[in-house]
Amino acid sequence: MSLPTIAVHGGSGTISKSLQKPEVKKKYHTALQKALDTGFEMLANTSTALETVTHAVRILEDCELFNAGKGSVYTAKGEHEMDAAIMEGTEMNAGAICGIQGVKNPILLANAVMKHTSFVFLSGEEALDFARQQNMDFKPASYFDNQRRYEQWQQVKDSGEVKLDHSGNSDHKFGTVGAVAIDANGHVAAATSTGGMTNKAWGRIGDSPMIGAGTYANNATCAVSCTGHGEFFIRSVAAHDVSCRMEYKGLSLQKAAEEVINKRIKKLGGEGGLIAVDAKGNIAMPFNTEGMYRGMKNNQKSFTQIY
């Protein structure tokens, strides 16, 4: 119960303790801590929650360890398609983009949609036209190429199978990234960014850019960023459901978040987790998988965890 507060995640899933090497674990902890430290410093220097989650996710997008931005997985066509969303809890404004290619930091484009258009959600080539108009930083396809990602794609290429980037018996784990924060004024915000599923086809879009499914923020309740098998989070409108359980059932943030992840999502057969912060600065980070890359920081404590 301390303001300001920030939490971040880097994906959830089958993250085996026995397979993950110590030096790999250290890289993840370092990357998560960098996002937390930078974000908390911003909050301490009177940045808004919205500015903070934008920058924290941008840091994680620039790290190839995670399935977002530079670390995005390969589609069935051998390309990189990215989605992102952001929402602030004061006016409940939001911006989202999906199916974009070449934009270095998708979260910045989602933020621009929120700030510079009357829309919430842009997609595909038209979203890229808007990105060019906003002078977004574009990178060639080679920027997003990664040998480990390529090998992952080769395992399922031409099979018709899609693969969550954090599933399987590999010590290289990646994940959707997200951040939630509450600033000194009690305003909350959430941001989420992803490269989707390996070998995805037909322009598949997951929960990350969908307001209410993978990303949500409301000053009266909480801010939420989800990670996992997106179809189940979409079907259960998971992020908004956490807020609803707090608002209409009077549940605490922890209880509401646990019910969504360990009951609602699990009952549907889904796997994943979420991070959330409420109007008092409380943090919840439940997951129903073997692990979830996550961390939080406020004036009283700071930590990063995997299992």
Instruction: Determine the average pLDDT of the residues in 162-191.
Output: 74
Residue 159 pLDDT grade (very low, low, confident, very high; cuts 50, 70, 90): low
Domain map (residue ranges) of the chain:
5-305
How far apart CA 279 and CA 62 sit, in angstroms, is 29
Q: Give residue for tokens 């989605």.
A: 83
- CATH number given to 5-305: 3.60.20.30
Give the range among 107-111, 131-135, 203-207 with minimum mean pLDDT: 203-207
Closest CA to 275 of 122, 57, 97, 61: 57
- Average pLDDT along the chain: 90
Summarize pLDDT for 28-38 with one digit per residue, the tens.
Answer: 999 999 999 99
SS3 sequence of 39-54: HHHHHHCCCCHHHHHH
Catalytic residue list: 176
Summarize pLDDT for 112-156 with one digit per residue, the tens.
Answer: 999 999 999 999 999 999 999 999 999 999 999 876 765 665 665
CB 233 within 8 A of CB 226: yes
Give the range among 150-159, 194-203, 237-246, 297-306 with minimum mean pLDDT: 150-159
State yes or no: pLDDT of 169 exceeds 90: no
State yes or no: pLDDT of 231 exceeds 80: yes
Instruction: Determine the average pLDDT of the residues in 3-14.
Output: 91
Instruction: Characterize the bridge pairing of strands 302-305 and 291-298.
Output: antiparallel
How far apart CA 237 and CA 244 sit, in angstroms, is 10
Residue 157 pLDDT grade (very low, low, confident, very high; cuts 50, 70, 90): low
How far apart CA 182 and CA 279 sit, in angstroms, is 7
Q: What is the DSSP string of the chain?
A: --SSEEEEEEEEE---TTTS-HHHHHHHHHHHHHHHHHHHHHHHTT--HHHHHHHHHHHHHT-TTSSSGGGPPP-TTS---EEEEEEESSS--EEEEEEE-SBS-HHHHHHHHHHHSS-SEEEHHHHHHHHHHTTPPB--HHHH--HHHHHHHHHHTTTT--B-TT-SS-S-----EEEEEE-TTS-EEEEEEE---BT--TT---STTSBTTTEEE-TTSEEEEEEE-HHHHHHTTHHHHHHHHHHHH---HHHHHHHIIIIIIHHHT--EEEEEEETTS-EE--BSSSEEEEEEEESS-EEEE--
Residue 76 pLDDT grade (very low, low, confident, very high; cuts 50, 70, 90): confident
Q: Give residue for tokens 């989420």.
A: 192
Maximum alpha-carbon separation in the chain: 51
Instruction: Determine the average pLDDT of the residues in 160-176.
Output: 50
Instruction: Give the model's pLDDT for residue 18.
Output: 63
